[in-house]
């Protein structure tokens, strides 16, 4: 499965009435175990590509803080947004300020928007549904990755680190998200 096929799976799953992660699991469950592993490979690559300080800063603003685990959920959610939004966020995380769900969440104080823990497990859930064994996926995944050394490493690294609690830095790097989150809640960062 190449990257384009990966995005097609996400697009097809968005067309139904089910929650997106459930619809993706349903679709993946119709594929072969090898195709599910290939989907997970693309998912892992895409998540690693946005595992950067600037994207983490966006998550930090949206959630008023962001641990390692929460950031993992955020990168999963960025991928789950689909190809167009993923590319925008990867290029400029501040574009999240234009996403309708982010704008709505900022207005009502929802700190969970974009964070999608369940999407982290769509491949393993589909694989388990197909094989009936909870351990099969992780064993197969270990073998799949072992055959592709350094295959999901992000060569670009995380970029320049900066202090997420420094309001001036956040305003400089993520001006639109800062307006939505810092300026709307003056007690946050100063």
User: Using one digit for the tens of pLDDT, what is the confidence trace for 67-123?
Assistant: 999 999 999 999 999 999 999 999 999 999 999 999 999 999 999 999 999 999 999
Tokens 């592993």 label which residue? 37
Mean pLDDT over the full length of the chain: 91
pLDDT computed for residue 16 by the predictor: 78
Alpha helices in the chain (DSSP H): 3-14, 20-28, 33-49, 53-63, 68-80, 83-91, 100-108, 122-131, 136-146, 167-173, 175-181
* 8-state DSSP, 117: G
CA-CA-CA-CA torsion sign (137, 48, 95, 103): positive
The pTM (predicted TM-score) of the whole model is: 0.91
Name the band, by pLDDT with cuts 50, 70 and 90, for residue 149: low
What tens digit of pLDDT does each residue of 42-62 get? Answer: 999 999 999 999 999 999 999
Name the band, by pLDDT with cuts 50, 70 and 90, for residue 148: confident
Whether the per-residue pLDDT at 185 is higher than 70: the answer is no
Buried b (16+ CB within 10 A) or exposed e, 84-121: ebbebbbeebbbbbebeebeebbeeeebebbbbebbbe
Helices 83-91/68-80 angle, 10° precision: 130
Whether the per-residue pLDDT at 27 is higher than 70: the answer is yes
Whether the per-residue pLDDT at 171 is higher than 50: the answer is yes
Rounded distance between C-alpha atoms, residue 97 and residue 36, angstroms: 32
Residue 99: CB partners within 8 Å, gap ≥ 6?
81, 85, 114
Cα dihedral 145/120/5/91 (nearest 10): -100
Tokens 């305003």 label which residue? 171
* 8-state DSSP, 138: H
């Amino acid at each position: 499965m190449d990257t384009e096929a990966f995005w097609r799976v996400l697009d097809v799953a968005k067309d139904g009435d089910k929650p997106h992660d459930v619809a993706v699991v349903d679709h993946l469950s119709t594929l072969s175990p090898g195709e599910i592993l290939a989907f997970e490979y693309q998912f892992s690559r895409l998540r690693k590509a946005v595992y950067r300080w600037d994207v983490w800063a966006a998550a930090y603003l949206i959630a008023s803080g962001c641990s390692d685990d929460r950031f993992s959920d955020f990168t999963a959610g960025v991928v789950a947004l689909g190809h167009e939004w993923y590319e925008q966020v990867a290029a400029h995380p501040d574009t999240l300020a234009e996403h309708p769900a982010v704008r709505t969440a900022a207005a009502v104080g929802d700190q969970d928007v974009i964070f999608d823990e369940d999407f982290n497990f769509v491949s393993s859930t589909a694989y388990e549904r197909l094989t009936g064994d909870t351990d099969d996926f992780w064993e197969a995944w270990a073998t799949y990755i072992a055959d592709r050394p350094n295959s999901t490493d992000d060569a670009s690294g995380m970029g320049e680190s900066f202090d997420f609690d420094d309001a001036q830095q956040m305003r400089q790097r993520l001006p639109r998200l800062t307006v939505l989150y810092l300026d709307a809640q003056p007690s946050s960062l100063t």
